[in-house]
A and B are shown apart, each in its own frame.
Chain A
Amino acid sequence: MSQQQTKNCITLRGSAQIICEYLKFAINSVLFQRGLYPPETFKAEQQYGITLLISEDPLIKSFLTNLLTQSEEWIVNKKVTKLSLVIINVANKEVLECWDFNVQYEDGDVALSKEKNETVGSKELKKIQQEIRDVMLQVAATISYLPFLDCRCSFDVLVHAKPHCDIPEKWAEAEPISISNAQNVQLKTFSTSLHKMETVVSYKLAD
């Protein structure tokens, strides 16, 4: 029995890594699905038992690694509440779409945590991955109802951190965004038993 528990033990760091991995794939998937970058710059990769597309653009890659390493640190320290992937019309800086990734912190397996002397979860990795796969499939399906982006668009990722959080180098405070006449669609949530990830997409409803 104790063997089983140690096998399914997820540390805080590991959970944060899972979250960040999910964010990486989710952001790439959105970029691909919403056609922000040409499809030939994406490469197919097997993950969570499905084929996902990852951008090969070096700029996007470096941006995401910078973002996610910092975010992982923050998630471990419970300083982030939400990450927002905003899709902006370049011409007039209007926010057309916003993908909110809400991070909630959970206690995990309390008994095991006491035993281990650190916060750990005991959810099976397989189950977590299955949940993530469901969310990814939903993300891919959003293309059927999201409005067509017919202008030059770009994206940005805003991290909603706790107010006492320090601003590291290369980071800056951004203006909170809002979408006029927004329509919200909540996708499935998944949990690592330490972190709960809630994905919501808001888009500007066509007039």
Chain B
Amino acid sequence: MAKETDMSLFNDVLEPFRRVINTDPPKDKLSASSKLNFSETNQSLKEGLSNLLSNKRKSTLGSSELLTPEKRSRIEPSSNKITAPPSPWEAKRLKIDLIAAKAQITKLEARVNHQHTIRKEMQILFEEEKASLIDQHKRDERALSDMEERLQVIRKREQELKDEHSEALKEFQESKSKWEKDKADFQKQIADLKDKLLESNVSSKDQISEMKKDMDELLQALEGAQSEVEMLKKEVAKQTSRAEQCTSLRTQLEKQTFELQQVTNKLKELEYERDSYKDWQQQAKTAQKRLSNMAELEKEVIRLRASERCLRDAVCNKLLLEEQVHLLTSRVEALQPVQQELHEAKVKMASLESSLEEWKNAARAHGVDSARALSSVLESALSNQLTAVAGHSEAQSQMAQLTEEIATVKYERDKVTTKLNDLQAVRKNQESLIHRLQKRLLLVTRERDSYRQQLDCYEKELSVTLCGESGAGSAALLSSRVEQLEKALQGYRDLLAAHDQEAHAKTVEGLRAEASRWREEAETARREVNKLRAQRDQLQAHLERLAAPHAHLTKVLHLTDNPAAAAHKEMQVDLETAQEEIKRLKAALREGGTAVCPEEMQQLRQQLENSRIKLKRMKEEFTSSAQEYRDVVYMLLGYKIDRTGHKNYRLSNMYAESAEEYLTFTLCDDGIEMVHTEYSASLSELVELHLHHHRSIPVFLSALTMELFTRTTIQQEVQ
């Protein structure tokens, strides 16, 4: 790596020289190197180079040094060869020659080495150059290929553009030709139209002339007709005269017919008279017959009278019987309720008997047979009940009494328990008191003992002092006394310590602790109060600052044309305009709705009228078109389709034999269905084939049409 960096540096240094070398032909360099020995300039160059080389490439120089021992080795054998003793001059000469030769050899070797290094450098330089040139070459090639690609792309684009251009041109030409064609067509059309116009003109002229001719003919005909009319008038006059004759004839005929009628009437009357005469004759005959039967009739009358008498008697008898019947019916009526009562009584009796039986059974069950025994038993039972009731009431009263007593007892018990409690409390107190008293008693006894001791002591003292007043004795006495006193004191102390100290110390400590605690609390509370007070003051100040904006200290100023004022003004203006508008509208409303804008009303009315007309026209158009449509359907498909109701359609065929032959269809959610009719029942074959098998209504209808058509045509043929 180091070597490479060295090489790069070396290259950098050599850069200027390389230029020189590149410009100079290599032959010069060689010649220069050959001249190196003799020319000083070349020497200097060589020196410069060697200097440069010595900086970086000592290794190469080292190699030249390595060559010297070889030379020495070569020299050594030559020196060894000179075994024969040469002459001193010769030897000297030879030595000189040798030295010169050696010098030359070293020089030449140095040159050779130098040449080698130069060559190597050159080679390196050339290789680098070559590499760079190759790189450049590659780059150039790449650039070339890129350029070629671009060129191709451009060519392609050009080609595309050309194609587009040609296409556009083609299109343009096509469109041009089309337009020209269109133009020619139009011109042709125009020419045709012109021809037509001319033709029509001509034809109209012809028509006009024809019409004129017709008119002339008609005028002639008119004249002919007028002459005919005159002729006919004459004939009419003739006919009227003949008609008059006819009327006179008719009157004569009428008279004759009247007479004829009269005659016929008379004839009829006569016939009637004749008939009545015949009747009279018959009556007379029957009367004669009756007269002959008279005697028989008389006999019969007698018989009838007898029978009449008999009948009268029978009538009398019947009246009597009727009276009797009447009497009997009244009696029956009177007896009927009695009978009913009887029945009821019987029923009652039966029921009573059954009940009696029951009673008896019941009595028997209780071991009583007679009614008296029963009553006695009942009485005894009642008395028993009475006694029981009395006992019950007594018991109840007793119970009440007892409950009362219980309550009182309870109350007393409660009282007693409370008393007991009180007493227990008292006892406890007493006990504690006793305890205390015992303690005190103990104390007192101890005190008493101590006093007693003291007394003893005093007594002793007294006795001692009384006995003798020796100094030593008094001193001993005093000391003993002191001791005793001290003991007593100790005893007191112990006592005190034993009894009070504990509790006292405890209480004292407790109190102290409490006091300190309270003190601390008070301290903290005070601190808190101070803090809160400060806070309050602060807040108050703040509040004052915020709430009361120093009304007395400051003057509130503002710009007269501030946005609020502007907005308020705007608002008022808006309000006024709105109010004005309201007033205006109200006034307009009061005047009446029509007076608001008559123009608009007029316009609206016109519009309404227009729309109505439009609607009417559309209706007409619709009905006519519907009719047309129906007609077309009928003519094309052979069926007249009528809508008989909601989703119901009646189809009648063109070739149907009668108006009753029609089919009914209903529109369902999933298609259309045929409804059963009398006529459809007669077409079961077609229905089976086309509707059930093919499932196609159109095919069925066409088949029906075909069938009807063939039938009608056959009929016609038959006719």
- A residues whose Cβ falls under 8 Å from a Cβ of B: 59-60, 63, 66-67, 81-82, 84, 86, 88, 90-91, 93, 100, 102, 152, 154-163, 165, 167, 170-176, 184, 200, 202
A residues within 8 A CB of B555? 160-163, 165, 173
**Residue of A93, A154, A165, A173 most packed against chain B (CB within 10 A):** A154
CB 8 Å contact bits of B563-579 with A (1 = contact, 0 = none): 11111100100000000
Contact indicator B549/A155 (Cβ below 8 Å): no
Q: Tell me the complex Cα distance, A62–B484, Å.
A: 114
Contact B550 A160 (CB under 8 A): yes
Flag if A154 contacts B564 (CB, 8 Å).
yes
Chain B residues 553 to 567 lying within 8 A of chain A, measured CB to CB, are 553-567
Quick check: is B551 within 8 A (CB to CB) of the other chain? yes
User: How many angstroms between the C-alpha atoms of A172 and B564 in the bound complex?
Assistant: 14
Q: Tell me what chain B mostly uses at the interface: helix, strand, loop, or mixed.
A: mixed
If A81-B553, A161-B555, A171-B558 are given as contacts, then 9 extra A-B residue pairs at C-beta distance below 8 Å, sorted by A number, are A63-B562, A63-B563, A81-B550, A155-B564, A156-B565, A158-B556, A161-B557, A165-B557, A173-B557
Closest to B572 in A: A90
Contacting pair B557 A174 (CB below 8 A): yes
B551, B557, B562 — most chain A CB neighbours (10 Å): B557
With the chains together, A171 CA to B557 CA distance in Å?
A: 7
Whether, in the assembled complex, B546 has its beta carbon less than 8 Å from a beta carbon of chain A, the answer is yes
Residues of A within 8 A of B560 (CB): 170-172
With known contacts A59-B566, A160-B549, A175–B571 Cβ distance under 8 A? no
B1 to chain A, nearest CB (A): 54
Q: Flag if B558 contacts A154 (CB, 8 Å).
A: no
| A residues near B549, Cβ cutoff 8 Å | 82, 84, 100, 160, 176
Mask: chain B, 529-564; 1 = CB below 8 Å from A; 0 = not: 000000000000000011001110111111111111
A residues less than 8 Å from B565 (CB atoms): 156
Minimal beta-carbon separation of A23 from chain B (angstroms): 14
A178 to B560: give the CA distance in the assembly, Å. Answer: 20
**Residues on A with beta carbons closer than 8 Å to the beta carbon of B556:** 158-161, 173-176
Question: B551, B562, B568: which contacts A93 (Cβ < 8 A)?
Answer: B568
Complex Cα distance, B545 from A100, in Å, reads 11
- In the complex, are the beta carbons of B567 and A154 less than 8 A apart? yes
Given contacts A81-B554, A163-B554, A202-B546, contact A67 B567 (CB under 8 A): no
A156 vs B559: C-alpha distance in the bound complex, in angstroms? 8
- B563 adjacent to A156 (CB under 8 Å): yes
Residues of B within 8 A of A (CB): 545-546, 549-551, 553-568, 571
Q: Which listed residue, A86, A91, A162, A170, touches B561 by the CB 8 Å rule?
A: A170
CB-defined A-B contacts under 8 Å, sample of 15: A59-B563, A81-B554, A90-B564, A90-B571, A154-B563, A154-B566, A156-B562, A157-B558, A157-B559, A160-B556, A167-B557, A172-B560, A173-B556, A174-B558, A176-B551
Within the assembled complex, what's the spacing in Å between the Cα atoms of A93 and B562?
14
Given contacts A63-B562, A154-B563, A156-B564, contact A172 B553 (CB under 8 A): no
Q: Which of B545, B559, B568 contacts A90 (CB 8 A)?
A: B568
Q: Are B571 and A172 in contact (CB under 8 A)?
A: no
Asked whether, in the complex, the Cβ of A152 is within 8 Å of the Cβ of B571, the reply is yes
Nearest B residue to A171 via CB reads: B557
Least CB separation from B546: chain A residue: A184
Given the known A-B contacts A152-B571, A171-B558, are A163 and B553 also in contact in the complex, defined by CB atoms under 8 Å? yes
Bound Cα distance from A159 to B559, whole angstroms:
9
**Chain A residues whose C-beta falls within 8 Å of the C-beta of B561 in the assembled complex:** 63, 170
Residues of A within 8 A of B545 (CB): 102
* Chain B residue with Cβ nearest A82: B549
A93 to B561, CA, bound (A): 16
Determine whether the beta carbon of B546 is less than 8 Å from that of A172.
no
B549, B568, B571 interface centre (most CB from chain A within 10 Å): B549
**Distance of A68 Cα from B225 Cα, bound (Å):** 119
Closest to A60 in B: B563
Top 5 closest A-B pairs, CB basis?
A154-B567, A156-B564, A160-B554, A154-B564, A156-B562
Q: How far, in whole Å, are A167 and B555 apart by their CA atoms in the complex?
A: 10
CB-nearest residue of chain A to B567: A154
Residues of A within 8 Å of B564, CB to CB, are 86, 88, 90, 154-156
| Across-interface contacts of A82 in B (CB, < 8 A) | 549, 554
User: When the two chains form their complex, are residues A63 and B568 in contact, meaning their CB atoms are under 8 A apart?
Assistant: no
The residue among B545, B553, B558, B571 with the most chain A CB atoms within 10 A of its own CB is B558
CB distance from B644 to the nearest CB of A (A): 65
- Closest-by-CB residue of A relative to B571 is A90
Smallest distance from the beta carbon of B604 to chain A beta carbons, Å? 38
CB-defined contacts of A88 to chain B, threshold 8 Å: 564
| B566 CB, nearest partner CB in chain A, Å | 7
Question: A117 to chain B: closest CB distance in Å?
Answer: 31
- B551 CB to closest chain A CB (Å) equals 6
Are B559 and A67 neighbours in the complex by a CB distance under 8 Å? Answer: yes
Q: Which residues of A contact B568 (CB under 8 A)?
A: 90, 93, 154
B573 → A minimal CB distance (Å): 12
Complex contact B567–A152 (CB within 8 A): yes
**What residues of chain B lie closer than 8 Å to A184, measured between beta carbons?**
546
User: What residues on A are CB-neighbors of B551 within 8 Å?
Assistant: 176
Minimum CB–CB distance for A44 against chain B, Å: 22
Question: How far in angstroms is the closest Cβ of chain A from B416?
Answer: 69
Contact B558 A172 (CB under 8 A): yes
Distance from A195 Cβ to chain B, minimum over Cβ atoms (Å): 17
A167 to B566 Cα, complex, angstroms: 21
- How distant is the Cα of A152 from the Cα of B563 in the complex, in angstroms? 12
A33 CB to nearest chain B CB (Å)? 16
Whole-angstrom distance between the Cβ of B567 and the nearest chain A Cβ = 4
List chain A residues, Cβ under 8 A from B562. 63, 155-157
Q: What CA separation (Å) do A67 and B551 show in the bound complex?
A: 21
Expressed in whole angstroms, the Cα–Cα distance for A95 and B549 within the complex equals 15
B559 touches A162 (CB 8 A): no
Residue in chain A with minimal CB distance to B553: A163
Closest partner residue, chain A, to B552 (CB atom): A163
With contacts A90-B564, A90-B567, A156-B565 known, is A66 near B559, CB below 8 A?
Answer: yes
* Cα A157 to Cα B555 with chains together (Å): 13
CA distance in complex: A167, B558 (Å): 10
CA distance A175 to B555 in the complex (A): 9
Residues of B within 8 A of A200 (CB): 546
Chain A residue nearest to B575 (CB atoms) is A91
CA distance A163 to B545 in the complex (A): 17
- Which residue on chain A has the smallest CB distance to residue B569? A90
Q: Say whether A161 contacts B554, CB under 8 Å.
A: yes
Residues of chain B contacted by A159 (CB below 8 angstroms): 556-558
- Determine how close the nearest CB of chain B comes to the CB of A88; give it in whole angstroms: 5
Measured CB to CB, the nearest residue on chain A to B545 is A102
Nearest Cβ on chain A to B511's Cβ, whole angstroms: 50
Complex CA gap A147/B230 in Å reads 116
Q: For the complex, what is the distance from the CA of A176 to the CA of B558, rounded to whole Å? A: 11
Contacts of B571 in A (CB 8 A): 90-91, 152
Contact A162 B563 (CB under 8 A): no
Residues of A within 8 A of B553 (CB): 81, 162-163
Contacts of A91 in B (CB 8 A): 571
Chain B residues with CB under 8 Å of A157's CB are 558-559, 562
CA distance A75 to B557 in the complex (A): 14
Q: Report how far A108 CA is from B596 CA in the complex, Å.
A: 75
- Complex Cα gap A155–B559 (Å): 12
Smallest Cβ-Cβ distance to A88: which chain B residue: B564
Residues of B within 8 A of A163 (CB): 553-555
Q: Which residues of B contact A84 (CB under 8 A)?
A: 549
Task: Kindly state the separation between the CA atoms of A158 and B562 in the bound complex, as whole angstroms.
Answer: 10
Cα–Cα, bound, A171→B558 (Å)? 6
Q: How far is the CA of A163 from the CA of B553 in the complex (A)?
A: 6
Residues on the B chain within 8 Å of A155, using CB: 562-564
A90 vs B551: C-alpha distance in the bound complex, in angstroms? 25
B663, chain A: closest CB distance, angstroms: 72
| Complex Cα–Cα for A125 and B217 (A) | 125
Chain A residue nearest to B570 (CB atoms) is A90
**A174 contacts which chain B residues (CB < 8 A)?**
556-558
A158 CA to B565 CA in the complex, in Å? 13
Q: Kindly state the separation between the CA atoms of A172 and B558 in the bound complex, as whole angstroms.
A: 6
